[in-house]
Structure 1
Amino acid sequence: MIPEITQKLLAAKKAKGISFADLEKILGRDEVWIAAVIYRQASASEEEAKKLIEALGLGGIYVQELTEPSVKGLGPVVPTDPLIYRFYEIMQVYGMPIKEVIHEKFGDGIMSAIDFTLDVEKEEDPKGDRVKVIMNGKFLPYKKW
């Protein structure tokens, strides 16, 4: 279920005819991060929230909500949206192989989802355009004590 604030922000974005790439230029933050704020998967500073709300032509009533810590995640169910499900499927199929390759290259640890960036790029291809997703997370080795 999409939060009410998200619905209002997306409606304002659509009404203004503004893209996430446009918002990236205005806020000086990555378009994926801005989308995460709108979907309440990330929190903005007061200054970032004000810039976002101003860019969308909304009053300041949403600033506080956008700065509050968010509840992250999709919930305990398998996603049903086809695009989101494909990422779930990718992890079902390639999760263990990716884990093994990371351990082989870095040792026993995890990739941070906090010290992390994610970029989405479009690669034009005559056989059909390609989606390129680049995840970049700090490696965090497990501590020994």
Structure 2
Amino acid sequence: MKKIDVTEAIFEIKKAKGLSWETIAEAVGMSDVWVTSACLGMNSCPEDVADKLVSFLGLPAEAKSVLMEYPTKTWDQAIPQDPLVYRLYEIVGVYGDTLKEVIQEKFGDGIMSAIDFSMEVDKEENPKGDRVILTMNGKFLPYNAW
């Protein structure tokens, strides 16, 4: 099996069983954002999490090693067409330099880690329309001088 095969199998099982990412995440003891990313092939699962995913979803045994493989994190460099993904792309395009300036003013010359990182997606009920709350939490990594 390849990562795409496991991802497709997960989507089929998820749909057939009427599961949510939150339900799957609870079953394996991880966050819904991280589990979804791992199921999409963008993170590697520790062995115990891979075991739990295979068992809970009823995946073939060979899916375990695929879920544990280190990913190559690449994505299409074209502008995304999906409206939700495009809006996130637009946010980085419009506010990316602003975030860089503010982060570096507060922390110094460096970056926010995407390795020592967590993210949450929450919903805020609002009479003017429900709100999406994205919380990204990454360790600050200063650039070294030598």
Regarding TM over 0.5, the answer is: yes
Residue 66 of structure 1 is matched in structure 2 by 67
In structure 2, give the amino acid aligned to 1:43.
S
Cα distance in 2 for partners of 1:74, 1:130 equals 27
Alignment of 1:9-48 (within 5 A): 9-48=10-49
Q: Give identity over the alignment, percent.
A: 48
Question: What corresponds to 1:102 in structure 2?
Answer: 103
Q: How many Å apart are 1:47 and its aligned residue?
A: 1.5
CA distance in 1 between counterparts of 2:101 and 2:88 reads 18
CA RMSD of aligned residues (A): 1.3
Q: Distance in 1 between matches of 2:5 and 2:112?
A: 32
Give the total of aligned pairs: 144
Q: Give the TM-score taking structure 2 as reference length.
A: 0.93
- Aligned partners of 1:72, 1:134: CA distance in 2, in Å? 21
2:53 corresponds in structure 1 to: 52
The 4+ residue runs of structure 1 with deviation greater than 2 A are: 2-5
Q: Distance in 2 between the 1:81 and 1:72 partners?
A: 19
- Matched to 1:103, the amino acid is Q
State the alpha-carbon separation in 2 of the partners of residues 85 and 42 from structure 1: 22
Q: Secondary structure of 1:60's partner?
A: coil
- Measured against aligned partners, the alpha-carbon deviations of 1:54-86 in whole angstroms (never above 9, x if no partner) come to 111222121111100012132222211111111
CA distance in 2 between counterparts of 1:126 and 1:61 reads 48
For residues 88 and 48 of structure 1, the distance between their equivalents in structure 2, rounded to whole angstroms, comes to 30
Gap runs ≥5 in structure 1: none
Normalised by the length of structure 1, the TM-score is: 0.94
**Local SS of the residue matching 2:16:** helix
Q: Structure 2: which amino acid aligns with 1:133?
A: L
**Using the alignment, how far apart are the partners of 2:104 and 2:95 within structure 1?**
14
